[in-house]
């Protein structure tokens, strides 16, 4: 995440919100009050209704169906623009959890908060993708340390791990066939792994 998070107060004016987004090249801003508690988020989507309805006179049906957008079209400050409650993620969440929240809630940026709801940073889609830049050697080392050495302490034939372009290949022979699917699943969960080719076999042929 980015710890130097850009945010605005609830009374920030419309033009100030737009200017800050442009200055920092971000698509959304957390809205804070008091000592830094996140109370909402203003995104580009929250700003667009003002332009959309600027020179139009929507009929009553449109007004009824898009009451929230109509209200934002007349908004003057952040508290009138923001989506609330804010979609946030806790600082101890995994990258996978953050990615899942982004996908389900259709957001590009997530404020990161502590247990008191205070802003600690912001995580973006770009931040989540950076994990795939991890060196293959680092990925192989983590797989060895956190998966293979834990699950298969006495393999029949030593487990060999190679990672090329983020794809992990496991070969070797192990005693417990039931742990092979678990190994593949755990390797797939290593942050930065793109794919898994699990060629592990069991000593009993199972």
> For 142-171, what is each residue's pLDDT tens digit?
999 999 999 998 878 899 999 999 999 999
| Whether residue 64 has pLDDT greater than 80 | no
| Cα pseudo-dihedral 81, 86, 91, 92, rounded to 10 | -160
Query: Taking each helix axis from N to C terminus, what angle separates 44-52 and 14-24, rounded to the nearest 10 degrees?
Result: 130
DSSP state of 91: T
The confidence band for 68, taking pLDDT boundaries of 50, 70 and 90, is: confident
Q: Does a cis peptide bond (omega within 30 degrees of 0) precede residue 28? A: no
Q: Which of 31, 112, 26 is nearest to 79 (CA)?
A: 31
Quote the CA–CA distance of 200 and 180 in Å, as a whole number.
Answer: 7
User: What's the whole-number mean pLDDT along residues 39-44?
Assistant: 95
Distance between CA atoms of residues 102 and 106, nearest Å: 5
Query: For position 179, what pLDDT does the model report?
Result: 94
Q: Which two tokens stand for residue 188?
A: 């797939």
pLDDT at residue 162, as a whole number: 97
Whether the pLDDT of residue 95 is over 80: the answer is yes
Looking at the predicted structure, is the pLDDT value of residue 206 above 60? Answer: no
72 Rama sector, left if φ>0, alpha if ψ -120 to 50, beta otherwise: alpha
Predicted local confidence at residue 37, as pLDDT: 94
Averaged over 57-71, what is the pLDDT? 72
How far apart are alpha carbons 8 and 76 in whole angstroms? Answer: 14
Please state whether the predicted TM-score (pTM) of the whole model is above 0.75: no
Burial of 198 (C-beta count, 10 Å sphere; 0-12/13-18/19+): middle
**% the chain with pLDDT above 90:** 70
Does 126 score more than 60 pLDDT? yes
How high does pLDDT run on average in the chain? Answer: 90
Confidence of residue 186 (pLDDT cuts 50, 70, 90): very high
Mean pLDDT of 26-36: 92
Q: What is the mean pLDDT of residues 110-121?
A: 93
């Amino acid at each position: 995440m980015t710890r130097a998070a850009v945010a605005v107060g609830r009374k920030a004016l419309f033009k100030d919100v737009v200017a800050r987004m442009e200055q920092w090249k971000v698509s959304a801003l957390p809205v804070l009050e008091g000592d830094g508690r996140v109370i909402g988020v203003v995104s580009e989507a929250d700003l667009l209704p003002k332009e959309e309805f600027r020179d139009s006179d929507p009929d009553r049906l449109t007004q009824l169906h898009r009451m929230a957008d109509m209200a934002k079209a007349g908004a003057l400050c952040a508290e009138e623009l923001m989506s609330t409650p804010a979609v946030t993620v806790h600082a101890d969440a995994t990258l996978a959890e953050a990615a899942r929240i982004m996908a389900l809630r259709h957001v590009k940026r997530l404020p990161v908060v502590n247990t008191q709801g205070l802003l600690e940073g912001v995580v973006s889609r770009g931040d989540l993708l950076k994990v795939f830049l991890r060196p293959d050697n680092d990925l192989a080392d983590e797989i060895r340390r956190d998966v293979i050495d834990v699950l298969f302490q006495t393999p029949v034939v030593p487990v060999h791990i190679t990672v090329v372009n983020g794809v992990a290949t496991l070969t070797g022979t192990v005693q417990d066939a039931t742990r092979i699917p678990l190994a593949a699943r755990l390797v797939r969960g290593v942050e930065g792994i793109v794919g898994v080719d699990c060629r592990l076999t069991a000593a009993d042929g199972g």
